[in-house]
Structure 1
């Protein structure tokens, strides 16, 4: 699983570059033809990971309910995200990879409940969920790259 966590961390570093290289206005801009923005996509991958791994194992995770409700699946940007929250997302991007890796090594996900994603993926194990998370985050990275071409 080390390589899976390394891929995940590399992907998160790519996302982090957008938070560092774009200003608040650019991060909040929703281009024509899109229903979200750069910051929503980054917040979304953070809370989706928390839901996929922690909530399905009956664990609280590491993000606040407010953050979870702002970026969870099915939401759209509904306010301008300010620098303070952007800074928090910067920290969470990489910190959650390390925290999750430690939690995985400590077998914290032993109560993982298999489930089926809307798209049809069946996640039977925590390892399936971690692998799917990498796929999901890579998909959002593609969306982010598309958005940056328009802002």
Structure 2
């Protein structure tokens, strides 16, 4: 089952990686009416949250740049940014690098208990590394749908 889970990560993350390469960066920071965040924020948020779910919650060092939490953490938004956010190229590199690090780190550890249970903003409590990691698939898909909606909104307005 573990291999099946890791194999499933490939197409899920593959969709995200393909999308960040295909969306023009000049659309990255547009926030259409009805949305709270930008395309750049959503891609960065996917990277940051997956890092937190797999590495942060298990007590391992998170390898995303330190400024990712400030730019892309839960509750952050582009309107509050100071300084320049990471480029699409940098975010794409973080997203691509996570796959192999996750597979290596979580191999044989999906049932490993977290140092302490973690309850996310939706009220879901994770007890194991595998539970947190699997939630990442849902989270990533949800934000990819938002990215698609923002992108369509920008195209339709232009």
Of 116, 135, 138, 2:138 maps to: 135
Of 104, 109, 123, 1:102 maps to: 104
CA distance in 1, matches of 2:10, 2:82: 28
Counterpart of 1:55? Answer: 56
Structure 1 regions of 5+ residues with no counterpart? none
Q: 1:59 to 1:107 in 2, by over 3 A?
A: same
CA distance in 1, matches of 2:153, 2:82: 20
Structure 1 segments (4+ residues) deviating >3 Å: 79-82, 106-111
Structure holding more strand per residue? 2
- TM-score, with structure 1 as normaliser: 0.88
Let me know the Cα RMSD of the aligned residues.
2.2
Structure 2 regions of 5+ residues with no counterpart? none
- TM-score, with structure 2 as normaliser: 0.84
Counterpart of 1:146? Answer: 149
Count of residue pairs the alignment pairs up: 150
Q: Deviations over 1:83-106 (max 9, x none)?
A: x62211111112101111101126
CA distance in 2, matches of 1:10, 1:38: 20
